[in-house]
Amino acid sequence: MLKNRSSPPTASLLAALGLCATTLWPVHATASQALAQKYACVACHQPATKTVGPSWKDIRAKYDDGTTATQLAATIKAGSTGKWGAMPMPPQPSIPDADLQTLAQWVLDGPRP
């Protein structure tokens, strides 16, 4: 006869994972804000105000159509013309793909100033 072995407390495990996720979010947000500054994204983009380029808020709203971070990262890397008016988005080929992915996800998640 097999003994009844209890599994780890599922609720405790889920609570711990949730705590880790909420603890890591500020680190992710801070790191991504730092990347936006490092790569001079903030020279053209601000949290809620259009400057040279659209605001992070406007970018998030435009791409809230199922666009993935990978797709947005590809757009950032390649640059674009005409998506936001006459001002082109210059290509950013020197930004490492991992950083582009992080920046794109940060924008899609709704960056905090």
pLDDT band for position 29 (50/70/90)? low
All structural domains of the chain: 11-109 (1.10.760.10)
Q: How far apart are CA 73 and CA 81, in angstroms?
A: 15
Alpha helices in 3-84 (DSSP H): 10-38, 56-62, 69-78
Between 22 and 101, the more confident residue is 101
**CA 34, CA 106: separation in Å to the nearest integer?**
11
Model-level pTM? Answer: 0.72
Contact of 104 with 70, CB cutoff 8 Å: yes
Residue-level pLDDT at 27 = 54
| CB hemisphere CA count around 14 (13 angstroms) | 3
d(CA 97, CA 9): 39
pLDDT digits (tens, 9 = 90+) for 64-92: 999 999 999 999 999 999 999 999 999 99
Can you tell me the distance from the alpha carbon of 69 to that of 48, in angstroms, rounded to the nearest whole number?
20
As given in the structure block, the two tokens for residue 40 are 């001079």
